[in-house]
Amino acid sequence: MKTCFDGKGKMAFFTIFLALLLIPSTSYSSLSFDRTAIDLSIESDGKLHVLERYFVTFYSPMHGIYRKIPLVFTDLKHQEKRIKLKVVRIGYCDAKGRWSHWENWFTRGNLRNFSIYIGRKDSTITGKRCYWLEYYLDGVVVNLNKNRPSSTMCLALNGAPHCTT
């Protein structure tokens, strides 16, 4: 995978930015998100490869977790842009965050959001789990201004794009 960031500072900026946008709320009394790991890379074709790992503790029986990914953003010209999402793998990881095995999952939502439910309707779990979500986003990495240098990359998630050179 090819990364288009030239420095650690730029990658850190985008990692923090995406972490704030992508991390689900941790204010549930029946579970806690103990740790979140998000790996990002920009492919040569401009697609953003995303690998999310959530280390969760369930304090009471639950069926699994829910994750909502926005698929629409407004660009600097105030036009709505749609993001394409392609799922690679969804399932469990081990205690060290390595891929373990597939899990049942299904989606719901509309054209504005991709909602993922990971777990089983017929059984509940308690204790510690690690969830793995891996997917590609197309239409997120853009160069929005012809006057910007070609090295300028913009990520557009949950609202206005954020750019770096």
132: CATH: 2.60.40
Task: Indicate whether 118 pLDDT > 90.
Answer: no
Which residue has better confidence, 60 or 25? 60
Does residue 118 fall inside a structural domain?
yes
Give the pLDDT of residue 59.
Answer: 94
Does residue 136 fall inside a structural domain?
yes
Which residue has better confidence, 113 or 147? 113
Query: Residue 64 belongs to what domain range?
Result: 8-164
Does residue 1 fall inside a structural domain?
no
Does residue 156 fall inside a structural domain?
yes
Question: Average pLDDT, stretch 79-107?
Answer: 83
Q: Amino acid letter at 63?
A: H
Exposure letters 100-135 (e unless 16+ CB within 10 A, then b): eeebebeeeeeeeebebbbbeeeeeeeeebbbbbbb
Express each pLDDT in 129-165 by its tens digit: 999 999 999 887 765 455 555 555 566 554 455 555 5
Does residue 146 fall inside a structural domain?
yes
Does residue 3 fall inside a structural domain?
no
For the chain, how many structural domains are there in total? 1
Q: Which whole-number Å values give the CA distances from 91 to 33, 86, 101, 121, 161, in the listed order?
A: 16, 15, 6, 15, 30
Which residues are bridge partners to 115 per DSSP? 68, 108
Distance CA 37, CA 22 (A): 11
Give the pLDDT of residue 3.
Answer: 42
Does residue 77 fall inside a structural domain?
yes
Contacts of 102 (CB under 8 A, 6+ apart): 89, 90, 91, 92
Give the pLDDT of residue 19.
Answer: 47
Confidence of residue 61 (pLDDT cuts 50, 70, 90): very high
Distance CA 151, CA 165 (A): 6
Distance CA 25, CA 115 (A): 15
Distance CA 55, CA 153 (A): 30
pTM for the complete prediction?
0.69
Confidence of residue 114 (pLDDT cuts 50, 70, 90): confident
The percent of residues above 90 in pLDDT, for the chain, comes to 19
Give the pLDDT of residue 26.
Answer: 45
Does residue 98 fall inside a structural domain?
yes
